[in-house]
Structures are given as C-alpha cells and as structure tokens.
C-alpha cells in the first residue's frame, strides 16, 4: 500500500501527513485521490462518495458556487450569496481603493471572500451529502479585481494606468494556499485574465459560448461593467465598458434587483402599460428587464422622445397624460399607483432614471460598435449574439434593440446563455482541455482600449439618444 | 517588467502577492529569484546580496545548519544547537513514542524542530549579513524519524515492523509548507530515505564519500545508531545497528560529550596511562574517543582480559594495581585522582562501562561483518573505509581496531570525513545533479535487515569479546 501511495503518485505533504493515521487502521483497501498526477488525499476503505469539485463565480455583487461530480459533470448542488465585500464598497473601484489606502484593507477583503467561499462550499456539500475535505478540484472565475482579492494580491494596479493585472496566466494551487479551510487539499485553478478589465469571468463566457465558433459571433455580459468579445474570421476582439449599475436596479428611483416583487416585464396592452411582477405579487420596484421594457413602451407610445425627454403630453391619450407629472428634471411617469404598490408608495420612472439608462446603454452600445468597427464587421454579419449574465438572460431582446442598447440584430440570432462565466468555470472544472483552452483564448483576444478609441467616443455621444422607431 | 515576471517564470503566489508593492515603487530594475523554473521572490532594484541557501543536518541530538553561496558553493556561515526535541526523549524511540501516545505529541515535536531551524537560519543569516527572507533554497538530511518530524508526518510506522518510512522519495516544497517562518519562499528539499532505519543522513554520507566509488569501499557513521553502507562491484549494501549511546558518553559512569574537559586521548607512556584533555583543562569526564583509547590501553597493559574482565592484578606493576579497586561488578580502574579532576571527584572506568562498550562495539562490528559477508568481501578487499560523524572523526583508528569495533583494516585506508551527512546536504544544495544522484543512490542500496541476519546474530555474540593482541 505504501509503495502505491508513494512511489509514483507524488503525494502532497498533506497526504503524507494523513498516511500514518490511515495505515494505523490496517485497512484492506485504500482510496487515493489523484489530481494532475499528485495524490492529494488518502483514506482507508473504499471511496465513500463521488469525486467532486467546485466551480466558483466571484461576482462583485454575488458569489455563486456549483458543486459537480467530476466524472459525470453533473451538478450535485449549488449555493449563492451576496459578496460580503460589498460592506467595503459596491463596485470594483471602491474595493481597489480600500485595498490601496487601508493597510489592512487587502487582508480584510481577502478574508471576507475566503470565508464566503468556505461557507458556500460547506452549504453545497451539505446539500450534496459529501464531505468538503474530499473536494478534489476547484475552478474560479471573476473579474480581475475579484480574483486578485481572492488570491490575496493587491489589485491596486487595476485602478491606475495601464490597468494591468499582476498576471495573465491561470494559477493552480492547493486550496490551503488560497486560505480555503473547507477544501484545503482541492487543486484550485483561477482561470486567466485577458486584461485588467477583461477578467477570467469573460474567459468563462468565451469557453461557454464561443470556444469553437462556427461563424462571426458576439458575446456580451452586462453587469456594472459590460464585457464583450467578438469573434470574426479566426480572431477574437474584446473590450469592456463601464455601464454603471442602472441595469442592476441601482441609481434608479424605484430600482431593485430581479427578485420577488420586481416589475420584470412591461407590455403595451390595448394602448395601456401592463406590468408583470416576479412571483406575481404587487410591485415593489423595477428591475433591469422591466426598466428596458418601460422605456421601450414609453418610446413606442410617444411619451418619450428620442432625446430622452418625457413629452408634455398634449397629443397623448388622456390616460397617459394622467400618468405624467412634474416638470423638467422632476418630470415622471407613473408605473403603479399607491394602492397597487407593495411599498405603500406610488412607483414612478423619472427623467433622472431615463438619463441613467441613456448613459449606460450609450456606453454598452458604443463599445459594441467599436468592436464591430475594429473587426470590420457590420451588425448584419453577426450570426449569433450571446447574452450572458442575469440581466442578459432576462431582458427582452426586442426592448434592448428598441432603446438602442443592442444594434438592430435579428432577434432570432440573439441567445441568452445565463451565467456564462459560471458555465465556463464548470467546463474548466471537469476538463483539462478546457483549462488549456481557457489559457489559449485569454492570450488570443485582441483588446481594445476604449479610452483611446475614436469610434467608441463618437458612438457614445451618438448612442445617448434613442433610435427613432 | 510585469511581462518578464509573469509570462514564463511561473511565479509563486507569494511572489505575485509581493509584486504590487514592488511595482508601486516604479523601480528601474527588478531582481527576480528563480528556483527550479519558478520565480519565488521579486524585489525592486539590483540584487542586494549573494544568492544563498541552507543545508540542514537534523541529528537526534544536534542540529547543524550551513549557509552557502549557491553560486560559488562557499560557506558563508554555520550554526548549531542541541535538538530541542531532547526534552521529549534522548533517542528516536522516545520521540516516536511521544508522537504516538500524546495527541499533541507530533505537533510539539514538529514545532520544536521548526523553531530550532528558524533560529539557526536567523543566526547564520545575521552572521553572513543576508536577509533570511532572501534564502532561495534549502536541503535537509536526518534519520527518518527526524525528517518525518520535520515534515510533520507521524513517525509511528518507524517504530513497528516493517519499520517503513512514509515515503522513500525526496520531498521538495516551499519553506512555508514546512512551517519555516524565516525562509517561507525557499525551495526546500528533504533528501530521500533508503529505509526506515537508513535515512537521508546516510544518503548524505554516500553523496559525500562514495557517490562515485573507485573501488570497494565502506562508509560507517557511528552515533546512537550505527549506519553503514558498503560498495562492491557496482552494488551498494546498507544496514543499521543499534549501538546505544556509549560512544556519545551516555550510560558511561564518567561519560560526557566531546567538549572542553573531556578526556579525548589516552596513551601508554613509559608504561603509565597519560590523558589528553580537550582544551587542556583538568578532566571532567570521558568522551567516546577517550573511552576507546582507555580500553585499548587496558587491553595492551594486560589489566583487561579479552572477555572484558578487569584482572585481579597480582601480575601487574604496582602502579596499575593501585589504580584497580572493587570486586566483581564494582571493580573499576582509576583514570584521574580526586585532586587531578575538575569535578572534585575521582574519575573511574567501571566494569559496567566496559560492558556497555562491549555491547555497542559488538553490534557495530557484527553489522560490518554482516555487510561484508552479504557482499562476499573480505576485510582486506575494502580499499577505503570512511568514518563519518563526530565520533568517527575523533576516534583513534588503531584503538577502534584494537578493541574490535572495526575489523583489522589497514589504518592507512581509513579516512575520517567529518559530518558526512551535512557534507552531502551541502552538495545537494548547490547541484541539481547531486539531488538526482541522491534519489538514485537511495533506491540502489540493497538493505540488510539484521534482525533476520544469521551472520549478524552469530557475530554479535562473538564480537562481544575483545580481540587478543
């Protein structure tokens, strides 16, 4: 037994430390966990469960962990939670700042995310009825700031020109080197970054959606930042644009995340706006997809002009005129009356909300145009458009096109891919080829720096307005 | 700079964590420490000293650390201390026992040796005026129990049949995995074991003395255990024998270690014993080499017969008769009178002391005979005999042969090699080839298990007596 455990399997120190205890039981059988040619774990007796691994998607706001059977690739459990680093700031800039100015900042941010991952691991393992200590492998994706903080590397370089990550390569180390207590012996791979503002989350989206592209295609992941990658004739082009948190419900008067009570759809039925609310409750606010729909409906009804101004309303039907109130920057549109609202207050879409959307969609759309221009591709030549992320999955494509967030693609060519970053992490978890591919894809993307991009700057101005119907 | 640091140099996580701080200084120059293709350390500016490493010899009693310039191989400093684990027992059996029975035993023993190594590292670095954190590499030798404890691996398997070490392979890991705080990023290699009772210390002796043998040769390292390796016609044979601590001055009435005040030489001058004392002081006791000489002198003078009995003395000169006193087991020989002794008490060699030496030398000699028999070699065919270790370096070869500790080799063929284990660790520190050779040598030794060896058992009985002059 010792011979098998030691001679060719390159045991880790932890496995060696465990061995005397295991051998003391004089087991008739040993179970060795061998990952990348290293024996990482050794237990007496037959295997006491499937070989499992975790795929981790560290979002600025939400952390999601999937527990997979490493042999079948089947999902055994998943768990999600708010990224506890939000206590130190909502966005990556705030986190970078905190790590840069507070001497203990990096330590705190790193500890928060390590603990969160430990918690998610335990939760998912409990659900799947496996021991966290037997988790053999893990993969991690996130934007570069999130993965820097997970690794305990100060992200300060991501906040100043040239916004370079400390490394573009993937990093594979045992869990304990990352300070993971729940899975100290798991072999954990942090997928590579493309650039400081195009992290391993984007590589995940690429793996999931466009690793083996059949024709020209575009992947767009819209969060607080919008990341997008275009494939055309053997080349990949990528860029990132600050979108602001409007589509996640922040900086919008009655904005909220896409949870129970959120207005997620707005339709024009018999000339009147009709709201669909998540879980069918009375509305509490407006999430990203509802926000797009509202603006599309306002545009279609003529209540909103292409400059983003809520019209005076004389030419509108009386019911619409009744919904508009206020003047100038205080002008607003009534979404739900007080008695129809779960908050006890009427819900409005304000001129300010509309301005936020114009900024956000202008930036995203300009980035897409810049990518298309760089590749020399027209919007009609794009055969498939992949929308990743929660917002991308729930938005109504027609509304996104109506307000000009997306170019006038054929809606039939637009596919939602859900959590593309997480899906990529899952693929990389179960396949060495996918991990190698991630490394290759990250290297091959030609990165556009929008700050210097003339097309982007001109488009940003142009795309602030809404398209004419 | 980032590109160089990351693209091909496979930085360690620690190096990546250090990088933002280093880059924040906007250095014109970077110094990267690259060990085995991994960038382990990164600093701003030009190199601030030589590239250094440590060679560590963990003895059951004494721990020695050498600090070397990794480029020139020159020794910059060395430091030694008592192994603090002696608080938990003098010999390996006591340490194995403590690790086995006390739930915290392994942790305590491991912590003691880690702290000792940290202390020695700091001391040697201070002397050499280098920063411990810049130590790039380390090698470690010791008997299997010592290296198990250094690695934090329970040595319980070394205490019970088949006395197998947890691994026969070398182990290379960053210092922090071994819990070394003084050199967390040093790449540390624990040299391989040959068997449970033939550790990496013996591999070190082989590297230093017989890695490229020109003819039949034997290396013997006598401590509490005696380890020996014989090379003959392309094969290596090795074994280990319990010698007891007699040659280290323990279990001997006035025994002591080879320090100031120890009788280290005894000659017969004009028919009378003449003592040489370390540092020329008044004698405080008898160390191993003095013990051998005393017995040789007693044998030559006729005061000790070949069965190990101090004779009655009627036929001895009057001065000798006066030195002998007591009867039966209490019979003893006066080495130094009360007024000539630094302890204020007369120093004697007792019948019991002589019995201890008979046991120890019988065991060592029988082992050598068993090795020679196994290889089919006579003692005259051995072209070189290497004596390693403190005792081996200081003993008088003629006395060792006179009392039968060694077979009747030609004394001109016997060479003291000093701390052979440490010398081997030093060779392995500065050369990848030597590290590979260590691995090969450890595998090639054919191990004799003396418990089952008939030659050993018969010789042990025979070699208890002293040779006739």
Task: Say yes or no for a CB contact (<8 Å) between A167 and B11.
Answer: yes
What is the per-residue pLDDT for A315?
84
Give the residue numbers in B contacting A (CB under 8 Å), as ranges. Answer: 2, 6-7, 10-11, 13, 16-17, 19-21, 23-24, 151-157, 164, 166-169, 171, 173, 177-178
Q: Which residue among B154, B167, B173 places its CB closest to the CB of A6?
A: B167
- Specify whether the CB–CB gap between B262 and B277 falls below 8 A: yes
For chain A, what is the radius of gyration of the CA atoms? 25
Which residues of chain B does A17 touch, with a Cβ-Cβ cutoff of 8 Å?
151-154
Which residues of chain B does A32 touch, with a Cβ-Cβ cutoff of 8 Å?
none
User: Which uninterrupted H or E stretch holds A165?
Assistant: none
Which residues, listed in sequence order, are joined to residue B229 by a DSSP beta bridge? B219, B238
Burial of B385 (0-12, 13-18, 19+ CB in 10 A): buried
Distance between B180 CA and the closest CA of chain A, angstroms: 14
User: What confidence category does residue A7 fall into, taking pLDDT thresholds of 50, 70 and 90?
Assistant: low
Closest CA in chain B for residue A19 = B166
Question: In whole angstroms, what is the distance from residue A125 CA to residue A135 CA?
Answer: 9
Task: Say yes or no for a CB contact (<8 Å) between A166 and B20.
Answer: yes
Task: Say yes or no for a CB contact (<8 Å) between B154 and A20.
Answer: yes
What is the per-residue pLDDT for B6?
46
What is the per-residue pLDDT for A423?
96
Task: Say yes or no for a CB contact (<8 Å) between B167 and A16.
Answer: yes
User: Which uninterrupted H or E stretch holds B343?
Assistant: none
pLDDT digits (tens, 9 = 90+) for A220-269: 998 878 899 999 999 999 999 887 778 888 889 999 988 899 999 999 99
User: Which uninterrupted H or E stretch holds A146?
Assistant: helix A144-151
pLDDT digits (tens, 9 = 90+) for A332-376: 999 999 999 999 999 999 999 999 999 999 999 999 999 999 999
Q: How many other CB atoms sit within 10 Å of the CB of residue B65?
A: 26
Q: How many other CB atoms sit within 10 Å of the CB of residue A212?
A: 7
Mean pLDDT of chain B: 92
CA distances from A235 to A365, A387, B95 (A): 21, 20, 64
**Secondary structure letter of residue B83 according to DSSP:** -
Task: Say yes or no for a CB contact (<8 Å) between A17 and B169.
Answer: no
Which residues of chain B does A16 touch, with a Cβ-Cβ cutoff of 8 Å?
151, 153, 166-167, 171
Task: Say yes or no for a CB contact (<8 Å) between B2 and A164.
Answer: yes
Question: In whole angstroms, what is the distance from residue A173 CA to residue A118 CA?
Answer: 16
Q: Which residues fall within 8 angstroms of residue A77, CB to CB, at 6 or more apart?
A: A66, A67, A123, A124, A125, A127, A128
User: What confidence category does residue A47 fall into, taking pLDDT thresholds of 50, 70 and 90?
Assistant: confident
pTM more than 0.80: yes
Mean pLDDT of chain A: 92
Task: Say yes or no for a CB contact (<8 Å) between A156 and B20.
Answer: yes
Task: Say yes or no for a CB contact (<8 Å) between A20 and B164.
Answer: no
Tell me if residue B393 falls in helix, strand or coil: helix
Question: In whole angstroms, what is the distance from residue A265 CA to residue A261 CA?
Answer: 12
**Secondary structure letter of residue A434 according to DSSP:** H
Task: Say yes or no for a CB contact (<8 Å) between B168 and A7.
Answer: yes
Question: In whole angstroms, what is the distance from residue A107 CA to residue A203 CA?
Answer: 27
The residues of chain B scoring below 50 in pLDDT are: 1, 3-6
Burial of B328 (0-12, 13-18, 19+ CB in 10 A): exposed
Q: Which of B110, B145, B167 to mutate to test the interface with A (most CBs of A within 10 A)?
A: B167
User: Which uninterrupted H or E stretch holds A390?
Assistant: helix A389-394
Question: In whole angstroms, what is the distance from residue A65 CA to residue A128 CA?
Answer: 13
Is ipTM strictly over 0.90? no
Is there a cis peptide before residue B162, judged by omega within 30 degrees of 0?
Answer: yes
Task: Say yes or no for a CB contact (<8 Å) between B151 and A19.
Answer: no
User: Can you spell out the DSSP letters for B147-193?
Assistant: HHHHHT--GGGGSSTT---S-SS-EEEEGGGGT-SSSTTSEEEEPPP
pLDDT digits (tens, 9 = 90+) for A127-154: 999 998 889 999 999 999 999 999 999 9
Q: Which of B163, B169, B172, B179 to mutate to test the interface with A (most CBs of A within 10 A)?
A: B169
Task: Say yes or no for a CB contact (<8 Å) between B13 and A151.
Answer: yes
Question: In whole angstroms, what is the distance from residue B202 CA to residue B419 CA?
Answer: 11
Q: Which residue among B24, B153, B173 places its CB closest to the CB of A156?
A: B24
Which residues of chain A does B177 touch, with a Cβ-Cβ cutoff of 8 Å?
13
Task: Say yes or no for a CB contact (<8 Å) between A173 and B13.
Answer: yes
- Tokens matching residue A453: 């991009």
User: What confidence category does residue A5 fall into, taking pLDDT thresholds of 50, 70 and 90?
Assistant: very low
Question: In whole angstroms, what is the distance from residue B65 CA to residue B113 CA?
Answer: 12
Which residues of chain B does A19 touch, with a Cβ-Cβ cutoff of 8 Å?
153, 166
Distance between A322 CA and the closest CA of chain B, angstroms: 58
Question: In whole angstroms, what is the distance from residue B198 CA to residue B165 CA?
Answer: 10
Residue with tokens 């008769």: B321
Question: In whole angstroms, what is the distance from residue B175 CA to residue B146 CA?
Answer: 17
What is the percent of chain A with per-residue pLDDT over 70, rounded to a whole number? 98
Closest CA in chain B for residue A6 = B167
Distance between B157 CA and the closest CA of chain A, angstroms: 7
The angle at the Cα of B358, spanning B355 to B362, to the nearest 5 degrees, equals 150
What is the per-residue pLDDT for B1?
44
Q: Which residues fall within 8 angstroms of residue A339, CB to CB, at 6 or more apart?
A: none
Q: Which residue among A16, A156, A167 places its CB closest to the CB of B151?
A: A16
- Residue A3 pLDDT greater than 60, yes or no: no
Distance between A55 CA and the closest CA of chain B, angstroms: 20
Which residues of chain B does A21 touch, with a Cβ-Cβ cutoff of 8 Å?
154
Average confidence (pLDDT) over A54-74 = 95
- Residue A111 pLDDT greater than 60, yes or no: yes
Q: Count contacts between A and B (CB, < 8 Å).
A: 75
Burial of A448 (0-12, 13-18, 19+ CB in 10 A): buried
Question: In whole angstroms, what is the distance from residue A287 CA to residue A302 CA?
Answer: 22
Which residues of chain A does B169 touch, with a Cβ-Cβ cutoff of 8 Å?
6-7
- Residue A6 pLDDT greater than 60, yes or no: no
Closest CA in chain A for residue B149 = A17
Give the residue numbers in A contacting B (CB under 8 Å), as ranges. Answer: 2, 6-7, 11, 13, 16-17, 19-21, 23-24, 151-157, 164, 166-169, 171, 173, 177-178
Q: Which residues fall within 8 angstroms of residue A451, CB to CB, at 6 or more apart?
A: none
**Secondary structure letter of residue B47 according to DSSP:** -
Which residues, listed in sequence order, are joined to residue B230 by a DSSP beta bridge? B218, B237
Which residues of chain B does A13 touch, with a Cβ-Cβ cutoff of 8 Å?
151-153, 171, 173, 177-178
Closest CA in chain A for residue B110 = A17
Question: In whole angstroms, what is the distance from residue B233 CA to residue A106 CA?
Answer: 62
- Specify whether the CB–CB gap between A455 and A461 falls below 8 A: no
Burial of B225 (0-12, 13-18, 19+ CB in 10 A): buried
CA distances from A237 to A373, A392, A423, A446 (A): 11, 20, 21, 5
């Amino acid at each position: 037994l010792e011979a098998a455990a030691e001679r060719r399997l390159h045991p880790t120190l932890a496995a060696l430390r465990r061995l005397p205890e295991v051998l003391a039981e004089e087991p008739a059988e040993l179970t060795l966990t061998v990952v990348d040619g290293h024996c990482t774990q050794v237990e007496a007796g037959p295997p006491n469960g499937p070989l499992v691994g975790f795929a981790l998607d560290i979002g600025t706001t939400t952390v999601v962990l999937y527990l997979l059977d490493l042999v079948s690739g089947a999902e055994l459990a998943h768990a999600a939670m708010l990224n506890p680093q939000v206590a130190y700031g909502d966005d990556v800039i705030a986190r970078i700042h905190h790590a840069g100015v507070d001497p203990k900042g990096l330590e705190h941010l790193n500890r928060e995310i390590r603990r969160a991952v430990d918690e998610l691991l335990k939760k998912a393992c409990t659900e799947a009825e496996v021991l966290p200590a037997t988790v053999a492998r893990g993969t991690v994706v996130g934007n570069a700031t999130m993965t820097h903080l997970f690794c305990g590397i100060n992200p300060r370089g991501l906040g100043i020109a040239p916004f370079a990550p400390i490394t573009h390569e993937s990093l594979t180390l045992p869990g304990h080197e990352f300070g993971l207590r729940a899975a100290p012996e798991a072999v954990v791979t942090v997928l590579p970054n493309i650039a400081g503002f195009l992290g391993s989350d984007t590589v995940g989206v690429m793996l999931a959606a466009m690793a083996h592209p059949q024709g020209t295609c575009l992947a767009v992941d819209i969060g607080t930042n919008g990341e997008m990658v275009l494939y055309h004739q053997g080349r990949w082009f990528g860029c990132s644009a600050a979108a602001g948190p409007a589509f996640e419900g922040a900086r919008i008067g009655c904005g909220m995340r896409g949870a129970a009570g959120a207005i997620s759809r707005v339709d024009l039925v018999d000339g009147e706006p009709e709201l669909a609310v998540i879980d069918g409750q009375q509305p509490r606010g407006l999430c990203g997809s509802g926000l797009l729909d509202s603006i599309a409906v306002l545009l279609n009804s003529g209540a909103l002009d292409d400059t983003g101004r809520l019209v005076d309303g004389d030419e509108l039907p009386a019911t619409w005129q009744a919904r508009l109130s206020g003047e100038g920057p205080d002008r607003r549109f009534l979404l739900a009356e007080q008695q129809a609202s779960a908050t006890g207050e009427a819900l409005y879409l304000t001129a300010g909300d509309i301005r936020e959307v114009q900024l956000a969609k202008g930036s995203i759309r300009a980035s897409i145009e810049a990518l298309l221009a760089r590749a020399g591709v027209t919007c009609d030549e794009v055969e498939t458009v992949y929308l990743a992320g929660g917002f991308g999955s729930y938005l109504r494509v027609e509304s996104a096109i109506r307000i000009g967030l997306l170019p006038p693609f054929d809606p039939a060519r637009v596919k939602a891919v859900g959590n593309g970053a997480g899906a990529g992490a899952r693929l990389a978890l179960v396949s060495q080829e996918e991990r190698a591919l991630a490394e290759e894809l990250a290297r091959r993307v030609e990165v556009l720096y929008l700050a210097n991009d003339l097309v982007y700057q001109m488009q940003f101005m142009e795309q602030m307005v809404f398209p004419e119907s």
